[in-house]
Chains A and B, each alone.
Chain A
Amino acid sequence: MLQQLDRVEGLQRINDFVVKFANVNGSGSASANALFAKSILRMGITATPRNIFPSNIQGLPTWYEVRISDAGHMAARGGGVDLMVAMNPQTWDQDVRSIEPDGYLFYDNTKPMPLEKFRTDIVVIGVPLTEITNTAYKDSRQRQLFKNIVGLGALAALIEIDPAAIEQLLAEQFKGRDKLIAANVQALHMGRDWVRQHLDCPIGLTLRHADSVGDRIFIDGNSAAALGAVYGGATVCAWYPITPSSSLAEGFIRYCNRMRVDKATGKNNFAVVQAEDEMASIGIVIGAAWNGARAFTATSGPGISLMQEFIGLAYFAEIPAVIFDVQRAGPSTGMPTRTQQSDITSCAYASHGDTKHVLLIPDDPFECFEFSALAFDLADRLQTPIFVMLDLEIGMNDRLSKPFIWSDSRRFDRGKVMTTQDLEDGKPFGRYMDVDGDGIAYRTLPGTHPTKGAFFTRGTSKDRMARYSEEGADYKENMERLLKKHDTARLLVPPAIERESKFPTKIGAIYYGSTSPAIAEANLLLEAQGIHMDLLRIRGFPFGDEVSRFIEAHDSLFVVEQNRDGQLRSLLINEMEIDPKKLVKIVHYDGTPVSARFIASAIAAWLAKGAS
């Protein structure tokens, strides 16, 4: 029986395990990997994949980890892998090390590995993928691509993926190209047949049709946010490529080409400029929004650093702007392809001088879509930059999410813009005059009226009529009004969501963004230990009253974040006058997504320490 070293029993699990593919970047593995995850979803089982990739185009190792959980857990599980598909000799040792005891190792044994390269406490499955494909195909590119599909066929037989699910996906993917479908199915069968002929199938990890997916959709957060920008009425996008945000701007282009080209004229109801840098990107956004178009840029931490001066201008001159920050590990270039929530401070207080900005923090693709569309309304309403805070974990990984919803009766909130008629009717206009008492002044767009409403926009201090002024009183009045406007924003950003424990408790946890699935699962792990927590998910800044109420109502409070310094915790302390001792920092910042196990053990350890 070739290389099957059946020295241990092997894990026995149904619909609840972790499979990890170790690949070489640029080897064409991505589409086979996606097919693997999607076919499991089609069986009704929750599967959550994560790309773990280097800052490289070709040659370096990449991994694709899929958590399969019928219970619906979508966070990184943490700990080892149950089935390692080791296709990259370069990372062999670390891949073998990462397998759970009694776990499985799947590898291409065309050139068998020496025995000392294995562990004795795992099950090794060898399939000669290269030999199979080299026999069947002459062309080297075909050999490479179909090897991935042959491997998928072999795996499908080993863990019992429904072949109909894979074949259906292939049929959809290559619709209209029957030859391609047939070739892929043939490769799939090649792998399956070899395994069935030579190995005992299935192994201890198996899949059964289930019902934990429902009507949910499977999409990455960047695409969801891009679609939200289309629905939110964005017409101008200016961007500079930067991982992990590039796919957001590219998604906008893709959706616009599909949905925003005027059928009658063939002309575009949008404009996208790939700018020369992030400063130009935000400059274009500010210019467009000053002129009444809905405009956005997508970037990551280094881009936010570069945009600081312009962000201050937009804040002080009060120009709408939407900025998507898909966060990655900083500082500096940091780890460009690893996830973090480490731009909270730099966005909340972006630019020199006294500034405070509005942040929206989605936790899944559904909210990426919602908050993206909302951001354009808020930018117009508040006439200020709105930051939508994604991160690599949400932005670049496909995940299950509630389907997107929209109401055809929904209208844009264009905010306070004086029309030609308003001016004609003699409605008084002072660009920085607080007429309504909410800190938001009326603006006019260039070209509106021949004699009324023109003003000079500037980053210098000015009086309420937009005239240059260095008078302390004018400056202070303006700054106080900006603070009032920020307070108005408190009522407009999505409120924090509380999830109460089944039992009354004085323990609370505060979290946001991509930490969501891990905390939900950690909560279950802690409940099993008798620790009950109320949960509060922050979805925006400035914080609403519900946040202070939650903090007042609990004695032990954990703020769980994916950065070193506890940036949201600092923001809570700073903005709500909270005693720092009241907020315990639970941080995970090594660039990998936080896991339930990490959170649960950190909280349990802290509570145990307190008890002793």
Chain B
Amino acid sequence: MTFMSKPKLHHPELQKNSLGYTRRDYEGAISTLCAGCGHDSISAAIVRACFELDLPPHRIAKLSGIGCSSKTPNYFLGASHGFNSVHGRMPSVLTGANLANRDLIYLGVSGDGDSASIGLGQFAHAMRRGVNMVYIVENNGVYGLTKGQFSATSDKGAKSKRGIVNSDEAINLVGMALQLGATFVARSFSGDKGQLVPLIEAALKHRGAAFIDCISPCVAFNNHDGSTKSFDYVREHNAAVNYLDVIDTKPEITVDYAPGMVETITQHDGSMIQLRKLDLEYDVNDRVSAMTYMQERHAAGEIVTGLLYADPNPRDLHSHLKTSDLPLNALQEDALIPGTAALTAVNAGLR
């Protein structure tokens, strides 16, 4: 059903990708979030990643739950179908959508309230099922739409804008995703476009459950002294393990980094991720050491970012369920109705 792109009228200087789309074709409605919101930077990163990967916008389905982050799918990929579902339940809706049509790309956008509180169960089960998706949590540690309450990812000891200190332990979604079997796990920062865009690209190329925890400061309620999700705090405590470049069968891309710090991962579809390693010891294919490393750095007060784990040969829910290669929503009567002869046999067996 994929249509070739149709050229539209564009400003002649706008760069086009191989499908003939400009960056503009990947944008959405104008954001109604606060000026300077980290979420808008993530939307911009999604737009850029999809443009650079030459993805036809209409072959992406974007789904979300409820909250500031979940409003963002309206602000990117305007030519894609979107689904703003109910609070904390995006993973199940996305799972169902994915079961119905395995040929689309599924982008789930959620927040820390949506995924770590009300939706923690659905987050966990979508990861462990291996739903082929990109799941981005825009993590600001706060409930913005309801005016600044702590969320479940707020760090213990963090201070709210009104001076209240959070006494509950923070839920570490990256640690959970690793433990639950997600096959691509990363963390980034909305203010670090250089790291975030290639991470989203690599996640989009990954054929399994890909999770990105993106720290995204809330300029209205969580960007003050005492916050552990403010721009300043994250910049100061960011411990990036790597930066990457996604090479989508375009080997002419040259990467600029110091020799001896590069690791190449070939994904299942043939695309390559080149990691510019900042920590030479870090092994991105080792789930257990990823968990250990992250906990150690966390204890030292650092926020580990970068690609933390990737399984080069992931299996997804469809491969577990052995579903037909043709999307289930494309199957017709001939494939679905067993017919009268079969029914007569059923009847005969029931007498």
Contact = CB atoms under 8 A, between A and B. Distances in A.
Contact of A287 (B78, B79, B94, B346): B94
A268 B6 contact: no
Contact of B338 (A259, A290, A313): A259
A459 B324 CA distance: 32
B83 interface: yes
B83 to A, nearest CB: 4
A576 interface: no
Contacts of B318: 271
B279 interface: no
A444 B81 contact: yes
B183 interface: no
B121 A295 contact: no
Given A269-B328, A408-B340, A456-B84, A283 B122 contact: yes
B306 interface: no
Give the one of B101, B129, B324, B342 with max A CB within 10 A: B324
A269 B86 contact: no
B300 to A, nearest CB: 34
A179 to B, nearest CB: 23
A260 interface: yes
Given A267-B325, A448-B1, A235 B331 contact: yes
Contacts of A285: 96
A450 B346 CA distance: 45
A449 B331 CA distance: 19
A450 B56 CA distance: 7
B89 A451 contact: no
B93 A286 contact: yes
B336 interface: yes
B97 A291 contact: yes
Nearest to A460: B84
A184 B214 CA distance: 66
Given A267-B325, A271-B321, A283-B89, A447 B74 contact: no
Given A283-B93, A310-B89, A236 B99 contact: yes
Given A217-B350, A276-B125, A283-B85, A446 B79 contact: no
A287 B333 contact: no
Contact of A262 (B80, B81, B94, B335): B335
Interface string B103-129: 110000000000000000110110001
A262 B91 CA distance: 29
Interface string A386-419: 0000000000000000011111101110000000
Nearest to B330: A292
A277 B80 contact: no
Contacts of A444: 81
A408 B342 CA distance: 11
Interface residues of B, number: 66
Contacts, number: 233
Interface stretch (B57-65, B239-247, B266-274): B57-65
B162 interface: no
B167 to A, nearest CB: 29
Contacts of B151: none
A447 B59 contact: yes
Interface in A254-294: 259-260, 262, 265-273, 275-277, 279-293
Contacts of B324: 262, 265, 267-269
Contacts of A238: 92, 96
Contacts of B124: 276
A194 interface: no
A277 B63 CA distance: 20
Nearest to B101: A291
B84 A458 contact: yes
A240 B124 CA distance: 16
B100 interface: yes
Contact of B343 (A41, A236, A405, A460): A405
A230 B338 contact: yes
28 contacts: A216-B351, A233-B337, A260-B336, A265-B324, A271-B328, A273-B129, A276-B125, A280-B89, A280-B92, A285-B96, A287-B100, A288-B97, A288-B329, A289-B96, A290-B93, A291-B96, A295-B100, A406-B340, A420-B3, A445-B81, A447-B61, A450-B5, A450-B57, A454-B79, A456-B81, A457-B82, A458-B83, A459-B85
Ranked nearest first, the 5 interchain pairs of A and B with the lowest CB-CB distance are A287-B96, A283-B92, A293-B100, A446-B81, A292-B329
Given A267-B323, A271-B323, 10 more contacts: A227-B346, A231-B338, A271-B328, A279-B122, A292-B329, A407-B340, A446-B101, A447-B1, A447-B59, A451-B6
